[in-house]
Structure 1
Amino acid sequence: MRKKYLVLPAVLILAAAVVTTVSLWPTELKKQRRQNLCLGMLTERTAGLLQDGKGGTVMADEFVPDGAEATGTSADPVFSTICFVNRENAEDKSGDGLRLQYTLDVSSSSTPSEAPKGATTLENGRTGWVGQRQSEVQLPAGCASKMRRPDEPYVTVTLKVSPVAIAGRDWDYASLMKDSRTVILEAVGNLAEQYGCAT
């Protein structure tokens, strides 16, 4: 066999080695998704801040609605997963007695949503708002292309507080909004780090 015919197999072997190395190389995305909750967005400590005050172990359930994966344009589950953060009832050992504290999800769009009445607009380089029941914060501008969403430049993390958490805190909205702010800003910061688009 002539040497010029050996070039193609050598190139293919090299390409396979590069792909294998890249897929095994520890990335920030893989590291955070292994260590943290909600697709790597929240540490367990921060996840437990926004709660109803009744105790119980923090449990996060990453849920993909029926058909969400089929309609998604990316294999990355971040755009098709809703993270439910619950507290386990201490007296119920079966795992069925969970109290929903809040949900966290990520979406992309061509325009950001307006802040509702009573929401606090964020400053210091962050775009979005924190409200009494819901908060929305956009990832930095460069994240959409890194997340394969160049046609939808606004990637938003949405936090929805459960009525259980609101009632459990005696409708103390100032305290809830403080904790909501901490939770959503950590989620946005960690997600931006995963994709290498943090500012």
Structure 2
Amino acid sequence: MNKKYLILPAVLLAATATATVTAVRMWPSPLKDLRAQNLCLGMLTEKTARLLDDHKGGKPAVDEDRSEGAGADPVFSTVCFVGRGTSEDTTPRIQYTLDVRPADAPNEPMKGATPLTDGRSGWVGPRQSEVQLPTACPKRMKTDAAYVTVTLKVAPGVVAAENWDEAALTAASRTVALEAVDNLTEQYDCAA
């Protein structure tokens, strides 16, 4: 067989492989879209991120603090700090943190926390909330743990600004925690 006829199929095969890899990397996906549009690795919209606030003013500021030696997907190695800053040279006041971790068992609810209902697993409190992602998520997120938990911790300044109104804090915390869970569930396509 003439070698010049073998070159064209090889070139076409290489071009097809390159185009396929490029298309997969550039193709939109819920994970890429939500992380590009939202805050805290795509977990929160800006509107929801503003719900827990110490009422001292300042622009919302988000810091996604990633641990050293993290894998390709930063979801388990990043703590999202949501704060408020009053000027560029001041460190933002932390309002709350969001943290996503694999776990072998859910934690016991804190005193005064409200258990979630309507098919959700977890609890919501005025200072801390923990909500588990649906049972299909750990596998989709490439962890061997039985659970993936989103933990929300509210700073004392926010609690004081709400005059220790636990009902208002719990309602805002619930909205923040559930939006984080819903957006992660969409990113990883692991709805119940």
Q: Please confirm whether the aligned pair reaches a TM-score higher than 0.5, indicating the same fold.
A: yes
Report the count of equivalent residues: 190
Q: What's the counterpart of residue 159 of structure 1? A: 152
Per-residue CA shift, 1:41-93, capped at 9, x if unaligned? Answer: 0000000001112232111111113x3xx1x4x4101111111000122xxx2
Letter of the aligned partner of 1:81 in structure 2?
Answer: T
Alignment of 1:1-199 (within 5 A): 1=3, 10-65=12-67, 67=68, 70=69, 72=70, 74-89=71-86, 93-149=87-143, 151-199=144-192
Per-residue CA shift, 1:110-136, capped at 9, x if unaligned? Answer: 222121221110011110000221101
After TM superposition, the score normalised by the length of structure 1 is: 0.87
**Larger Rg computed on CA atoms:** 2
Equivalents in 2 of 1:147, 1:107: separation in Å? 11
Q: Give the alignment's Cα RMSD to 1 decimal.
A: 1.9
Equivalents in 1 of 2:29, 2:166: separation in Å? 38
Q: For structure 1, list consecutive stretches of 5 or more residues without a partner in the other structure.
A: none
After TM superposition, the score normalised by the length of structure 2 is: 0.90
Per-residue CA shift, 1:121-174, capped at 9, x if unaligned? Answer: 00111100002211010111111111111x112011110001111122221111
Equivalents in 2 of 1:138, 1:3: separation in Å? 58
Aligned sequence identity (%): 54
